[in-house]
């Protein structure tokens, strides 16, 4: 499933706060950090199974109310930080919803079994040649 930042925008609430990023003295005066909060439990974009998967995979990013929370303070202005927070949130949600393919167990091929046996025989012969002649 592909979720874009534009689809998330109506459901995400943004809040400005003072950031930690670049900006010198300005960072102490201006609230340029964007804090994005998304209540994915009430979202219409996801199914119940997807919500359960997000709850499990993004447990470390959920606040005490069970909402997905993300901050961005990479840039000096609030608008770019808001856009970046949405991008990060969409990327994290898409990554959490990706279901890995099941691994199919495989068996060694005939050629690899023969190669393995031949190397064992060669190694055995090399070790045998190191022995004393009466031990043969």
Q: pLDDT tens digits, residue range 42-67?
A: 888 888 999 999 999 988 888 888 88
| Cα(72)–Cα(91) distance, integer angstroms | 14
* Half-sphere exposure for 120 (CA within 13 Å, toward CB): 6
| Cα(136)–Cα(126) distance, integer angstroms | 13
Q: Kindly indicate the confidence band of residue 19, based on its pLDDT and cuts at 50, 70 and 90.
A: confident
Helix (H, G, I), strand (E, B) or coil at 19: coil
Q: Which of 80, 70, 75 is nearest to 21 (CA)?
A: 75
């Amino acid at each position: 499933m592909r979720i874009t930042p534009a689809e998330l925008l109506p459901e995400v609430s943004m809040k400005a706060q003072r950031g930690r990023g670049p900006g010198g003295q300005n960072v102490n005066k201006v609230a340029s950090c964007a804090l994005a909060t998304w209540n994915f439990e009430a979202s219409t974009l996801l199914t119940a199974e997807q919500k359960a998967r997000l709850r499990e995979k993004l447990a470390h990013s959920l606040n005490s109310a069970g909402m997905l929370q993300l901050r961005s303070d990479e840039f000096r202005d609030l608008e770019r930080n808001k856009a970046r927070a949405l991008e990060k949130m969409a990327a994290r949600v898409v990554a959490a919803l990706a279901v890995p393919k099941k691994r199919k167990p495989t068996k060694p091929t005939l050629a690899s079994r023969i190669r393995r046996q031949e190397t064992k025989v060669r190694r055995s012969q090399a070790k045998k040649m190191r022995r004393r002649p009466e031990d043969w």
